């Protein structure tokens, strides 16, 4: 197992490579990992239980999720249905 200093040295070497060379290296690493069988391991979702509990603190989890969705909708109007986008850019019609 390489030491942290060895990994830092490897990272410095990688930064000196061109983007094409970095991509080639990445492809080789991915191929090696696939051949090792590492990618065949199944994820045990039970090990993830409780991992995000500190994200919410005392906030209700559903309120947290709702707030994240609302924030996302506000930041990316392209993700909204076109009918909502066009109606939000037009002034409200007068009610008669």
**How would DSSP label each residue in 23-39?**
HHHHHHHHHHHHHHTGG
The number of domains in the chain is: 2
Answer whether residue 46 is part of any domain: no
- Confidence (pLDDT) at 26: 92
- The list of the chain residues with pLDDT below 50 reads 88, 96
Structure confidence at residue 25 (pLDDT): 93
Residue 73 located in a structural domain? yes
Query: Which domain covers residue 34, as residue numbers?
Result: 4-39
Answer yes or no: is 52 within a domain: no
CB distance 88 to 94 below 8 Å: no
Structural domain contains residue 27: yes
Phi, psi (deg, nearest 5) at residue 43: -80, 125
pLDDT at 24: 93
Taking the C-alpha atoms of residue 82 and residue 79, their distance in angstroms, rounded to an integer, is 9
What is residue 50's predicted lDDT score, i.e. its pLDDT?
77
Q: What are phi and psi of 94, to 5 degrees?
A: -75, 145
pLDDT at 38: 67
Query: Mean pLDDT for the chain?
Result: 76
């Amino acid at each position: 197992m390489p030491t942290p200093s060895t990994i830092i040295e490897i990272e410095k070497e990688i930064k000196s490579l061109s983007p094409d060379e970095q991509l080639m290296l990445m492809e080789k690493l991915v191929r090696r990992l696939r051949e090792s069988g590492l990618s065949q391991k199944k994820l045990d979702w039970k090990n993830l239980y409780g991992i995000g509990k500190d994200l919410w603190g005392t906030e209700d989890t559903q309120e947290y999720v709702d707030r994240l969705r609302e924030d996302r909708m506000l930041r990316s109007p392209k993700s909204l249905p076109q009918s909502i986008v066009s109606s939000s850019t037009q002034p409200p019609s007068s009610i008669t």
